């Protein structure tokens, strides 16, 4: 089985590639990634020399390039992670977000349709449902009401992918996961930013009143869910992937301060994000019922593992912040 994984150099994509190569000895992976600021081949150092792994640098929104790649590689299946994934960046600069998340998904779907693949798995987010009022939890039929250019571009790409199933019978599946956390997470999202700032005794900026609720999913639990849907999910279906604990942001930050041994005085309140969603909440009953998946990592254990990883990998944090991994790419991969 040959899988084309897009965005495999990012946070979740790299965890998925590591999991797949470790647990599925019959799988070969082609990792297509543009290596934006968020893509880092250091995340894949453990598998870089595997004969079952190959890296291709390229842009999913370059239609002719993507079509050629499918013709050359002939993947059996596609697992599509590549995206501009940060809400704040999407507010400041929506152009690359729409281009990659919507048009890039279109280019992949077209190539998958023309060349024929046995499965196209599209990785999406709970943010497509928008803010959800208590006491409701979104199931897969909940209306889509995205708030940011990021979540709207993901909602659009979900619908486009599903339309390829309805119209062309492309065997598409979609997962919508809640907020991920874990090692190799770029330090711009809440948990890795707060950990790296705390470790450097910098202030921890809380948007607004900090009472927004997110449902935290350990990255490896998410990757197991994607694998479960790839192997057992039904074509044309959407599966929610919820986390192990929903918490207000201030509580997450307090736990990070406790885990790093830093004082609460590092927390500061800053201007709220425009269009900030108050609460995300999901039910993953369908995924659990159809595949047997369940989140395994309790939040506090996942958080202490993550804190430990950032304490032990300050070099990685420094390099991704400065963009120095590009030198690593030139040294190790360019021309391969």
Active site residues: 126-127, 150
**Who's near 28: CB < 8 A, 6+ residues apart?**
1, 2, 3, 52, 53, 54
Helix (H, G, I), strand (E, B) or coil at 334: coil
Least distance (Å) between residue 91 CB and ligand TYD: 10
Q: Which of residues 152-171 bind ligand NAD (CB under 6 A)?
A: 154
By CB under 6 A, name the one of 63, 187, 205, 236 that touches ligand TYD: 205
Question: Is the bond preceding residue 135 a cis peptide, omega within 30 degrees?
Answer: yes
By CB under 6 A, name the one of 9, 35, 69, 206 that touches ligand TYD: 206
Contacted by 326, from ligand NAD, ligand TYD, none: CB < 5 to 8 Å by type: none
Contacted by 38, from ligand TYD, ligand NAD, none: CB < 5 to 8 Å by type: ligand NAD
- Which one of the spans 154-162, 189-197, 300-308, 323-331 is the region binding ligand TYD (CB under 6 A)? 189-197
Residue 91 near residue 148 (C-beta atoms within 8 A): yes
Least distance (Å) between residue 124 CB and ligand NAD: 6
HSE, side-chain direction, 13 A CA sphere, residue 75: 30
Q: How far apart are CA 200 and CA 180, in angstroms?
A: 23
Contacted by 82, from ligand NAD, ligand TYD, none: CB < 5 to 8 Å by type: ligand NAD
- Which one of the spans 156-164, 203-211, 240-248, 327-335 is the region binding ligand TYD (CB under 6 A)? 203-211
In which order are the strands placed within the sheet that holds 213-218?
A: 180-181, 213-218, 245-248
State the residue for tokens 């995205």: 146
Q: How far apart are CA 290 and CA 5, in angstroms?
A: 24
**Token pair recorded at residue 159:** 């619908």
196 binds ligand TYD (CB under 6 A): no
By CB under 6 A, name the one of 190, 229, 241, 282 that touches ligand TYD: 190
- Looking at the chain, list the stretches that DSSP marks H as alpha helix, in order from N- to C-terminal side: 11-23, 63-73, 87-92, 94-98, 105-115, 149-168, 190-199, 219-232, 249-260, 285-291, 299-312, 314-322, 325-332
90 binds ligand NAD (CB under 6 A): no
By CB under 6 A, name the one of 18, 34, 119, 165 that touches ligand NAD: 34
Residue numbers of the site for ligand TYD (CB under 6 A)?
87, 127, 179, 189-190, 193, 205-207, 212, 214, 249, 273
Residue numbers of the site for ligand NAD (CB under 6 A)?
6-7, 9-13, 33-36, 38-39, 59-61, 81-85, 100, 104, 123, 125, 154, 177, 179-180, 186
């Amino acid at each position: 089985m040959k899988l084309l994984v897009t965005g495999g150099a990012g946070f979740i994509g790299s965890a998925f590639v590591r999991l797949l190569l470790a647990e599925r000895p019959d799988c070969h992976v082609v990792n297509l990634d543009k290596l934006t600021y968020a893509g880092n081949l250091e995340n894949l150092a453990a598998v870089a020399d595997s004969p079952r792994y190959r890296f291709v640098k390229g842009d999913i929104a370059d239609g002719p390039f993507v079509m050629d790649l499918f013709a050359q590689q002939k993947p059996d299946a596609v697992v599509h992670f590549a995206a501009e994934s940060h809400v704040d960046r999407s507010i400041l600069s929506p152009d690359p977000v729409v281009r990659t998340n919507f048009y890039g998904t279109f280019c992949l779907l077209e190539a998958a349709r023309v060349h024929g693949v046995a499965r196209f798995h599209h990785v999406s987010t709970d943010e497509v449902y928008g803010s959800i009022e208590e006491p409701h939890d979104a199931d897969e039929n909940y209306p889509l009401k995205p708030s940011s250019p990021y979540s709207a571009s993901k909602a659009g790409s979900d619908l486009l992918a599903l339309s390829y199933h309805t119209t062309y019978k492309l065997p598409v599946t979609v997962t919508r996961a809640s907020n991920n956390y874990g090692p190799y997470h770029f330090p711009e999202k809440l948990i890795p930013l707060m950990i790296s700032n705390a470790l450097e005794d910098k202030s921890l900026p809380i948007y607004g009143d900090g009472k927004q609720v997110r449902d935290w999913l350990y990255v490896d639990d998410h990757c197991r869910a994607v694998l479960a849907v790839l192997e057992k999910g039904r074509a044309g279906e959407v599966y929610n992937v919820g986390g192990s604990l929903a918490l207000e942001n201030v509580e997450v930050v307090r736990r990070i301060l406790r885990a790093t041994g830093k004082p609460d005085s590092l927390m500061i309140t800053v201007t709220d994000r425009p269009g900030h969603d108050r609460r995300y909440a999901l039910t993953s009953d369908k995924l659990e019922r159809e595949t047997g998946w369940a989140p395994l990592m309790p939040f506090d254990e996942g958080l202490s593992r993550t804190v430990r990883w950032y304490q032990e990998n300050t070099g990685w944090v420094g390099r991704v912040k400065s963009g120095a991994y590009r030198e690593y790419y030139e040294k190790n991969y360019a021309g391969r």
